[in-house]
Structures are given as C-alpha cells and as structure tokens.
Amino acid sequence: MDQNITEANSPEVLVATESRTPGSVAMSLRNVAVSFNGKTAVRDCTFDVESKKVTSLIGPSGSGKTTLLRALNRLHDLTPGAKVNGQILLEGTDIYRGDMTATELRTRVGMVFQRPNPFPTMSIYDNVISGLRFNGVKKKSMLDEIAERSLRDAALWESVESRLKVSAGNLSGGEQQRLCIARALALDPEVLLMDEPTSALDPIATLRIEELLVTLKQRVTIIIVTHNMQQASRISDDCAFLLMGEDRAGELIEFSTTQKIFNDPKDSRTLDYTLGRFG
Amino acid sequence: MNPMDELTLTPSLTVTHDTIQLIAKSHRARRVLISRVVTALCLAALVISAVPLVLLLVQLVTRGASQLNTAFFTTLPQSPTIMSPNLTGGVSNAIIGTIALTVYASLMAIPVGVFAGVYLGESTSKFASVLRIVAQTMAGAPSILMGLFGFSFVVKFLHVGFSAIAGSFALAVLMLPVIAISTELSIRGVPNTLREAGLALGAKPHTISTKIVIPSALTGIVTGCMLAVARAVGETAPVLLTIGGGYINQWRPLNPVSALPLSIYINAKSEYPSERAQVWGIALVLVLFVFVVSLSARVWAARKQKRNS
Amino acid sequence: MTVLLDNLKDDDLTENISAGPSRGWYHWLIVIASSLFAVVSIGFVGSILAYSFPAWGHAATLITGRGWQSPTGPYGGLAMITGTLETSLLALTFAVLVGLGTSIAIVFLVPRRLRTIVATAVELLAAVPSIIYGLWGFLVLAPWMLKSFDPFLAKLPFSSAIFGPSSQQFGPSLLLASVVLGVMILPTFVAISREVISAVPNDLVEASYSLGATRWQVIKDVVLPAAKIGLLGATFLSLARATGETVAVALVAGGVADVQFHLLQPGTSIAAWIATQFGEAQGNEISALMALGVLLMLINFSLSLISRSLVNRQRKALARV
C-alpha cells in the first residue's frame, strides 16, 4: 500500500528533486554521543540515514531517541551544559565542526515537534512563511508561491485556502501539526526531523499525518522518533533501535531496514522490544 | 475525497532549494551581527540595572554596619548640639514603636485577612468575585492613602489622636488585601482531589475546610502573612500621617509612638552629619529584617513544596 | 509584590466544591471576615472622600491652579499633577527600556543555575522599602549628581532647555526623583516581565530556532509578541507604583510646588506633597490634601484595573496555546 503511493506519485515529483537522489546518504552519524553536564544521555550511535527515506528511531522511554534527534539540528546548543561528541555529517559536512553555523544547518534540517506549536500571534500564512522571513526572503511572490506549495504538500491547502489570515490558534490539533509541517517544509529542507509528531493527536489525525509522511519522503529525508511500533513499521524504511544501557545512558542496539528489525533482528533485545516484551 | 488525490506533491516551480539557501546565505552575516549587538545591549541593560542596586546595597552595609552597637538598640535618641555634634544616642524608641505597630497591625489584619482569603478561595458567589477585584486593587493602592485613611478615620473621626493604634490601623489596611490574596491563592492551590476524598468519606463541608484544606494550604498562608509583615514594617507614608512620633520608649496603643522608617525620614534631613550617618544603621536594620523575613518565607515555602511533591 | 506575581501564575477560577448547605459557625466566620474586609475597603474610599469634601468647592483650582498658599489657600494642585506625570513617566521610560533588556538577559542569557538566584534577588529588591531608595537618593545620589552629573549634563546640546540651570543649593530635583523612582520600580517591572517572558512556552522558542532564526529574531518575532499584553500589564503596574510612590520622592524631588518643566529644578508629586505638607496642615488645607489623595486614588485604581485586565488576558492567551 505504502509502496503504491510512492510509485504512483514518483514521476511528477522527480521534477522537484535536484541532486538528492534516493539511496544516497543524507546524514551520517559516527559514534554520536550526547551528554548533559558530563552525564551521558545517549552514545555509540553510528548509522547512515539514506536520502528520500523515512528512518525511525525507536526504543523505550529514556533510550535517548529524542536527545539524539535534537542533536541533528543542534537544538542542544540552547541547553547550557549539553555536549555532542562524535561526528554528524550532513551531505559530507560535519554540522558541529565544519564552517556551518547552527542557523544555516537549521534551514537545511527542519524539525517538527511532539506538540503542535504554531506561533499563536501569527496568522496561518505568517506561520508558514516564518522560516523564510527569518532567513531574509522578502519577495511577496516568492513567499506566496512557497506558502501555497508548502500548505499543499502538508495537505492543508484545501481547508485553509480561504482563511490564510486567520490566527493559527483556530485550527484543530491535527491541522496545527500539519501547519507545523508546512512551516518546516517552506524552507525546502533536505532533512525533516520529527519528534513523535502524532503523539498529541487522535487516531484519525495520526493516520492522515502518516499518509502525508509517506508522500513527503519523495521530497525530503525524514527522521522520525516514535513510540508506536505499528507506526514505525507502517511508515519507515529504516529503523534505529535504541535502549537504555546499565549506566542509564541510551545506546544504539541495532540499525537496519524496518523489514529486518521487525522480522529478523540480529539482537535478541530488539526482538523482545518489537514483540512488546518490555518498554 | 480520495486521499490519493490529495496527497500529491506540487512540483517545485520557480523557487528552488538553492534559491532559498542563496537568499538565506546573503542575509546570514547581517542577521547574526544584529542578534549579537542586541544580545550585548541586553547584557548591558542587566549591568545597568544591577549597578545602582548593588551600589545601594553595598553602601547600605558599609555605612550602616559601623553604626550598630548595643547603645544603638538600647538607648533613647539624644539631640546633637553645636557643642556635642556627635551625640545621637540610640533608636530604642523607634524599635519599640515599630514592634508595637507591627504586632497590633498583625493582630488586626491576619485573622480578618486569612478568613476573608479562605472565603475568596472557597466561594464562587458574586460577592466573592467583586471582593476579589477590590482586594487586588487595594493591594496596589499607594501607601500614603492608607495614611490618609488612618488619619481621617482613627485620628480625626474616632478622636483617638496620633497614636500607635492609628498607625497600626493604617498598616493593617495595607496588609489586609495582601494576606487575603495570598491566602486565596494557597486555598485554590489545594487539589480538588483532596476535597473530593473528604466528601467521599462523608465529611461535612466545614470539616473538609478546617481539617483538610486549611492545613494543606497553611504553608502558603503563613508565607503570605510573613511577606505582608515584611512589607508593613518598612512602610513610611502610612505611619508618617498617623503615629505622631516621640522620643520616649512607648508602646501603648493609644499613645503616640515612633517607628524606624519615620526616624529615617526625619533624620536623613538632619543638619548634623552624625544623625545622617546614624540613619544608615536604621536602614540596614530595616532591610536586614525585610530580607530575612521574605527570604525565610520563600525558602520555607519552597522546601515544603518540594517535600509535598 | 509577590502577591501580584502569584496572581499572574494562577488565578484561574477553579470550581471548588462550594460550602454546601451547611451554615455552621465556620461559614459565618469566613463570611463575617470577608464582610469586614468589604466594610474596611468601603470605609477606606469613603473616609478619604468625606474628609476631602470641603475642598471640592474649589475643584477647578485644585486641578488647574498654580501655587499652594498655606494656611490661607488657594490650594492649586497643577504643580503636583505635572510633577507626578513627569517623574513617573520618565522613571517608567527608564525602567521599561532597561528592565526589558534585563528580563530578556535573565531569561535567555543567564545560565539556568543562576536564574533562580537572580530572580530571587530581583524579588527581594522589589521588597526593599521605598524609604531606603529615598535615603540613598537623598544622601548619596543627590550630592553625586550635583558634583559630577549636572556639570556633564550642562555640556549636552539643548541642555538648558530640557534641564534648566542646575540649582546649586539643592541636589534634589525632578530628574533625581525620576532616577530614584526608575531604580525603584525597576525590580517591580523586571520581576513581572521576567515572569511573563519565561511563561512563553519553550516549544515556540525551539520552533523558531529550528527554522533558522537568530536569538534576536526569536525574541523579537516570537517571544515578545506572545508576551506583549503581559508586558503592557507590567508597564501599567510599574506606572501605578511610580505615581503612588511617596517618601522617596518627598526626599529627593525638592518639595517645591512649582509647575516646572526644567528637570534639574526642584518639584514635587501628589503623594510626596501630601506627605510633606500634612504635618503642618490645618482645616481647609487638610481637605485639599485629602482631595489630592482622591485624585491619586483615581489615577492608581484606573492603572491597577487596566494592568489587571491586561495580565488576565495574557494568562488566558497563553493558556490557550
């Protein structure tokens, strides 16, 4: 089913893709570890995220999935005492040690958060183009075009087309989350990070977001943290399974295709987890 | 609608990823610079706010500490003369006066304020919501107005004259809304599940209130009262118009008394350097008292809260 | 102070289980206490109004008259009204500009571990009695301004138009009063605005950072708009405090009842004038001072109500997010 959608849409989507071909490495993590005030929260993460695929980070609470995800667009820079070790490469460039600034990185690696967080003082339109405004895009025609494109890509255009100037607070939870997706897409990022984007939504809204993600991966590489095993198996191509070690720090147990993680894992702990024996 | 139709991506038209990145890149240096400049300005503001306040505290301690000795606390003030310009005596009258004023004011304000606050916290009546606004407005009223009230009502209307009771009445009016509001907030902070548990056990409403709600809100209530006392002790304007002052140790309610803030106000304008210097001692005592009371109230409340959670 | 802050945090009218049908002694105790509070509040307004009554025969003089002739009258309040406006607005400008920067610095720049300490220090400073600020202004700042600051001001362009000739006998002046008031209401403003700013949900801050915003863009385009109404409430509350401030202004403003727009000249404010004149006042002058008190009450109550409703709106707006 998922595969069908992808194939049905791929011809026209390919027009939009530049150099980013599916299968190449979008981000690669080499021995990534994150610590707060010297206390390690997650470590030993080494895997490659392939372009135009959905990679999920799964594991029980405390395994450091969200911590790892936030390292990928340097959100830990905001937390005093946080330190990221190892290498994170975005198309070959080390995002922490290269000449890339955090602001630049974040225009290339977008983020969607657990709770829908549209800017309450801005209209729907202003929310979508806020990232462009932050980055100095001022041309009205360009903003309008991207706003429409992003809202369409987030499957929200139909329902908000007539009320773009209305405050974003008036949307339902699911619509707000799609607005946040549109907001992140507006910058046309290479990678989209999603931190349990459906955990605050009802099942129907969740399903719609999941369908959306499967479509979106033709344009953007998606890395998603999820608690929900079914969700991970439904939408992702690859899976990273993390688990809390003995010193309460999360570590990568296994990285493989979703197919393998769920059907033929190498590590017995992965099997235990996917079968629901703990976590 | 068929989701398949909806979920197609619009192809990129004129604006490409590279265009956006290019524009962003051209603005980045300027944006970062502006951000750094404003950040520096904010830090400068922090320093600007801290400097006068730190200077004030440092001068208060350095000038005040040398004034404090046994005589300062235990003897009556004496008037310096041209012959003996350094003769200042102590401020025992003002200390006794301030203690008396604070005790009387607390005796008046705390019972009324606390129970009025309980009412505000437990009642949903129209009267309660009006009284809430009244309390909030009164809590922000300038203290000189409390002085005018104390003067017009106690000194004049009741013909009591300048007295400790007039001053403590004015201070009590100042404390009342503060206590009522903090009590109300503490009462509201008690989780409804506790009340429901009481109801489920068949307790009467007033038993729930006295045995469950008030005890769990007690820390907040006491903290509020302490902060109200700390505020009343340092207030000058209300006592200026009501207590009359005087240079003898006096505490009886119907007699005029002195008070520490009043001594500061009067002696700061003295022509004798010795009296002006002594004022710093009084100020230090006052500030220390206010700090110790408010800080211990806060620390106590925080510790209690931590233990409960 | 703290009460206002607590208010800011939590004033939602949780439906508590009401006292029910039982009308025991306990019910009456709290009803009587709150009625007593209501009576005191009515008495507060009524008593001041009643004693101000004789002065309202000369209401026009009281509001627009220049010069205060005790003990015969007329009693003109214009100098006090203009003095109150000048000092409190100047102080407010200082407190809001510096205070906003300070609050932003505390929330966004001060390390988290120090933040509680700084916040507590700010609240303690807001609790320092105003007489202490007045004392410091009178004994430290006034001589310093006379010696160092006034000559510096005199060198600035348009100095004599704004500040007037520095009065060499007095350190006290409207400018000094504004500075002392500004320093004094600064902790009040910072305490509330810090609270308001840090109440802006962290999700919004992270969301804007993750869109490539710089720190200043996050603050300017997301945090400040979200905190706008609450900051306005803090501003009005600080203004209310500045207009009602008594003894500090009485010590440092100079206590001269002239309508004065040169800031280095002595002046006074409504509250300070009541405090300085009350000692020797008799008869009609007391009524006139009481009437000034009524004016002050009107100003203060309206500012209070405005700030209260703004702060309430802010809380509701943030609760919806």
Q: What is the CATH number of the domain that holds C301?
A: 1.10.3720.10
CA-to-CA distance for C304 and C237, rounded, in angstroms? 6
Residue C79: which domain range? 2-8+23-320
Checking if the pLDDT of C14 tops 70, the result is: no
Are B152 and B242 in contact by the 8 Å Cβ rule? The answer is no
**What's the CATH architecture for A2-117+188-274?**
3-Layer(aba) Sandwich (3.40)
CA-to-CA distance for C25 and B114, rounded, in angstroms? 16
Are B161 and B155 in contact by the 8 Å Cβ rule? The answer is yes
Is C261 part of a structural domain of the chain? yes
Joined tokens for residue A101: 């600034």
Neighbours of B79 (CB within 10 A): 12
What local confidence, expressed as pLDDT, does residue A92 receive? Answer: 85
What's the total number of domains in chain C?
1
Q: Among candidates B259, B112, B232, B107, which has minimal Cα distance to B170?
A: B232
**A162-A167-A169 Cα angle (round to 5):** 115
Is C215 part of a structural domain of the chain? yes
Inter-chain CB proximity C47 and B157 less than 8 Å: yes
| Rg, C-alpha atoms of chain A | 18
What local confidence, expressed as pLDDT, does residue A13 receive? Answer: 37
Give the 3-state secondary structure of residue A241. Answer: strand
- Model confidence at A169, in pLDDT bands (50, 70, 90)? confident
pLDDT digits 0-9 by tens, C140-168 = 988 888 887 777 777 777 777 777 766 55
Domain-wise residue ranges, chain A: 2-117+188-274
Inter-chain CB proximity C19 and B192 less than 8 Å: no
Q: Note the ipTM here.
A: 0.88
Is C14 part of a structural domain of the chain? no
CA-to-CA distance for C16 and B194, rounded, in angstroms? 11
Burial C51-87 (b: 16+ CB within 10 A, else e): bbeebeebeebbeebeebeeeebebbbbbbbbbbebb
Strand A191-195 versus strand A238-244 pairing type: unpaired
pLDDT digits 0-9 by tens, A92-108 = 889 998 788 899 999 99
**Spacing of C-alpha A267 from chain mean position:** 26
Q: Does B33 touch chain A (CB under 8 A)?
A: no
pTM: 0.86
Which among B35, B137, B295 has CB closest to C305? B137
CA-to-CA distance for B69 and B90, rounded, in angstroms? 9
Which of B20, B23, B34, B46 is best to mutate for the C interface (most C CBs within 10 A)?
B46
Burial A237-275 (b: 16+ CB within 10 A, else e): bbbbbbbbbeeebbbbbbbbbbeebbeebeeebbbebbe
Joined tokens for residue B161: 């004259």
Inter-chain CB proximity A18 and B25 less than 8 Å: no
For B:224-283, CB contacts with C below 8 A are: 224, 227, 230-231, 233-237, 240-241, 261, 264-265, 268-269, 276, 279-280, 283
Distances (CA, A) of C259 to A31, A201, C65, C172: 74, 64, 10, 16
Are B249 and B89 in contact by the 8 Å Cβ rule? The answer is no
Q: Which residues pair with A58 in a beta bridge?
A: A241
CA-to-CA distance for B42 and B35, rounded, in angstroms? 11
Q: Which residues of B touch C278 (CB under 8 A)?
A: 147, 151, 240-241
Are A120 and C222 in contact by the 8 Å Cβ rule? The answer is no
Q: Among candidates B299, B293, B289, B297, which has minimal Cα distance to B60?
A: B289
CA-to-CA distance for A189 and A130, rounded, in angstroms? 14
Neighbours of C140 (CB within 10 A): 18
pLDDT digits 0-9 by tens, A105-123 = 999 999 999 999 999 889 9
Q: Give, for all 309 residues of chain B, the pLDDT tens digit.
A: 444 444 566 655 566 788 888 888 888 999 999 999 999 999 999 999 999 889 999 999 999 999 888 888 888 888 777 777 777 788 899 999 999 999 999 999 999 999 999 999 988 889 999 999 999 999 999 999 999 999 999 999 999 999 999 999 999 999 999 999 999 999 998 888 888 888 888 888 778 888 888 888 998 999 999 999 999 999 999 999 999 888 888 889 999 999 999 999 999 988 888 888 899 999 999 999 999 999 998 888 888 777 766
Neighbors of chain C by Cβ distance (3+ pairs < 8 Å): A, B
Give the DSSP letter of residue B122: H
Checking if the pLDDT of A38 tops 60, the result is: yes
Distance from the Cα of C238 to chain A's closest Cα (Å) equals: 25
Residue of A nearest to B11 (CA): A16
pLDDT digits 0-9 by tens, A120-145 = 889 999 999 999 999 999 999 999 99
H/E stretch holding A252? strand A250-257
H/E stretch holding A31? strand A25-36
Are A40 and A71 in contact by the 8 Å Cβ rule? The answer is no
Residue type, position C98, single letter: V
Distances (CA, A) of A72 to A34, A80, A257, B4: 11, 17, 20, 32
CA-to-CA distance for A96 and A82, rounded, in angstroms? 13
CA-to-CA distance for A188 and A221, rounded, in angstroms? 11
Inter-chain CB proximity A152 and B10 less than 8 Å: yes
Give the DSSP letter of residue C17: P
Is C13 part of a structural domain of the chain? no
